[in-house]
Amino acid sequence: MHTSGIAHALARMGHEVLVYSLTGRHGDYGAPRLFTSPYRLDTIAANLVEETNLQFSLGLVQTIGRRLQLPRVWQYALLERGLVPARLKAALSTADIVICDLPWCPPVPGPWSHKPWFLISHNLEHRLLEQAHPRQRRFAAWMRTVEAAAPSRYRDIFVCADDDRDFYRSHDPSKQLKLPFIGCGVDPAAYCVPAGTRERVRAELSLTEADHLLVFSASRFAPNVEALATLRDFCRTEAAFLARERVHVLILGSVAEAQRDGPLIATGRVPEVAPYFAASDAGLNPIIRGSGANVKLFEYLAARLPVISTAFGVRGSGLQADTDYLPYDPAQPRASIERYLRERTREQWKEHAESVWARHRASCDIDELVKRAVAERPEFGPV
């Protein structure tokens, strides 16, 4: 989402943006696609096109790597050696600026090496690997070396939090990098929904306006999975309390398969998250570890949802406990839920969420973040 937000923001600023995806999704490799074109072009928006390479060999390597729960070392090895599709080389030849998404995408050697190459940092990847599956943890030290070398390989690095900025600054031998900041902002317009959406979705979930719905939006990433486990325990041990107060917890996204277990409702993957945010009354962020910042937090803010979060969950946002969000203690979740129920009415929470958004929009709106960041780099021209 961070990548998509930046790409859309650059396109809205007037830049012509080509997103090159080295591989496709699982469904892209079925017949007849496999026997027609080795690539696909999709116009995402004005000035924004995505080209997806569909060569079976790279798709197979990606599938094997995922099945073995290995990080994208294969991708790094190919790009670093210049073993890339001819159409990517053609795109690099015509590009004015090259932006690498994550350190898994190193600069590709070739006649385009003199062009300005930038890196987008979403977090510190070696920190994520340290917290991942044992097979992935083996690569953490190697990735730390890759990230430590990044300041010497790129014209500059767009960072997303103080954590990665401090790391890259400490490994910048030239001390020339500006390390422009692009936090995990979102496009506010993406969270505007048609009238009646809240009522429709709540009806689909068999909820009425007498019910309180707290949403936890998450992918199947280890810190999210762990947070979900504590939520499940809470929903089971405090089932009577939640039923009495008519509180439901909505688990949105791939972190869990679709199911319903008492007050806990899981949707699985959904095509759009905005309708479910509209149906919710507050955004829940119970995670206690990870790296970078949480996109879900900025989604909650843009959707004008009051936030209930751990202190770790709001890192990189500038939100202040009690003033901007309700603190959440995973060891005592009931206390946070009771505060939410007692301190304000639903309408008062809506007004509170609007005031929080007004105070923090400049640090949450991806267009504003990108404009400020590229203004620090003359390569992008006037903003």
Do residue 171 and residue 235 come from a single domain? no
Do residue 50 and residue 155 come from a single domain? yes
The CATH number of the domain holding residue 164 is 3.40.50.2000
**Which structural domain, as residue segments, surrounds residue 289?**
189-364
* CB-based contact 318:363 (threshold 8 Å): yes
Do residue 120 and residue 225 come from a single domain? no
Do residue 22 and residue 147 come from a single domain? yes
Query: What's residue 31's pLDDT?
Result: 61
Which is it for strands 48-53 and 156-158: parallel, antiparallel or unpaired? Answer: unpaired
Do residue 332 and residue 209 come from a single domain? yes
What is the distance between the alpha carbons of residues 60 and 367, in angstroms, rounded to a whole number? 36
How many angstroms separate the Cα of 262 from the Cα of each of 183, 240, 243, 253? Answer: 36, 10, 8, 18
Do residue 97 and residue 239 come from a single domain? no
Query: What's residue 139's pLDDT?
Result: 95
Structure tokens belonging to residue 295: 């996109």
From the number of C-beta atoms within 10 Å of its C-beta (0-12, 13-18, 19+), residue 229 rates as exposed
Query: What's residue 32's pLDDT?
Result: 58
Structure tokens belonging to residue 336: 């946070």
Name residues whose C-beta falls within 8 Å of residue 383's C-beta, 6 or more positions apart in sequence: 13, 371, 374, 375
- Tens of pLDDT, residues 166-206: 999 999 988 889 999 998 889 999 999 999 999 999 999 99
pLDDT under 70: residue ranges of the chain: 30-36, 291-293, 383
- Tens of pLDDT, residues 113-149: 999 999 999 889 999 899 888 889 999 999 999 999 9
Q: What is the DSSP letter of 365?
A: B
Please provide the DSSP assignment of 237-262 as one string. HTHHHHHHHTEEEEEESTTS-SEEET
Do residue 31 and residue 116 come from a single domain? yes
Query: What's residue 383's pLDDT?
Result: 62
Query: What's residue 347's pLDDT?
Result: 94
Name residues whose C-beta falls within 8 Å of residue 34's C-beta, 6 or more positions apart in sequence: 54, 56
Do residue 49 and residue 120 come from a single domain? yes
- Phi, psi at 250, each rounded to 5°: -95, 120
Number of domains in the chain: 2
Do residue 147 and residue 217 come from a single domain? no
Do residue 177 and residue 265 come from a single domain? no
Do residue 85 and residue 214 come from a single domain? no
* CB-based contact 267:254 (threshold 8 Å): no
Do residue 153 and residue 17 come from a single domain? yes
Query: What's residue 56's pLDDT?
Result: 87
How many angstroms separate the Cα of 373 from the Cα of each of 105, 167, 220, 332? Answer: 21, 18, 30, 39
